[in-house]
Chains A and B, each alone.
Chain A
């Protein structure tokens, strides 16, 4: 699909791909459609479309560039698809299939979603647009579910170590879930809040009757 792009711009870009060795900026479908556009434009009234297409493919240098760029774009897309899944993605799949405990944190699964968005972005797509598309296609269902499972597992593990009658603990745990930094565990965040956040320190002291 050309997506409102001007076929003439696609042709110019395809020429830079062929002559200057630039990476293709569009998908192979874009180049293919631009090729059809050239054939339609060059078709004479006495000629049918397949004949016109065959003629321009054989003789037109712009078409040569479009075919070259389409091949490059197709190869690039195939290379990305053939890349093996990362250990994080494999673990997310395993969590869904067998219900096993996640081996990574929610941060790790979400980082993987962002990394995949970057790697699987189509030509002309930004990572955020690719992220939205992949979410809609269901590509991140396993990673998101594994991230949620990892979060629950972490909260359960931390909660087990808490004194049963401590009324302050659930409040601190919930606050830590909201204020957890990138790469920080829940437990580390709770420690940090208890030692650096004045409000939390005062609340803790009050709850313990200090």
Chain B
């Protein structure tokens, strides 16, 4: 994947993740996915692939649904 294939919101997301990686050593895929929700148009899968984090987590998965248990 080339950087030129990625749209500007995805590039901004990657830049933010790299800055966090440089300071903290790591930014989890979950946090990147959270940030992506506020960056309209960002492709989180592409960003994670570029950062080498693809497939590491159920990214973007909703919290556990509340299921009514039958007695």
Point out residues on A near B: beta carbons under 8 Å. 107, 110-111, 113-114, 117-118, 126-129, 131-133, 135-136, 138, 140-141, 144, 178-184, 188, 192
Contacts and interface: CB of A to CB of B under 8 A. Distances in A.
B45 interface: no
Greatest chain A CB density within 10 A among B31, B61, B63 is at B31
Contacts of A132: 12, 15-16, 18-20
Contact of A179 (B15, B37, B57): B57
Interface string B42-71: 100000000000001110011110000000
Nearest to A191: B64
A178 B36 CA distance: 19
Given A114-B35, A178-B56, A131 B16 contact: yes
Nearest to A145: B24
A107 B64 CA distance: 14
Given A128-B39, A135-B19, A182 B34 contact: yes
B31 A110 contact: yes
Interface of B is mostly: helix
A180 B57 CA distance: 7
B23 A128 contact: no
Given A113-B31, A114-B34, A132-B20, 18 more contacts: A110-B28, A114-B37, A126-B39, A127-B35, A128-B35, A128-B38, A131-B16, A131-B20, A132-B12, A135-B20, A135-B24, A136-B23, A178-B57, A180-B57, A181-B61, A181-B63, A182-B61, A182-B63
A144 B35 contact: no
Contacts of B64: 181, 183-184, 188, 192
A161 to B, nearest CB: 20
Nearest to A144: B24
A133 B64 CA distance: 33
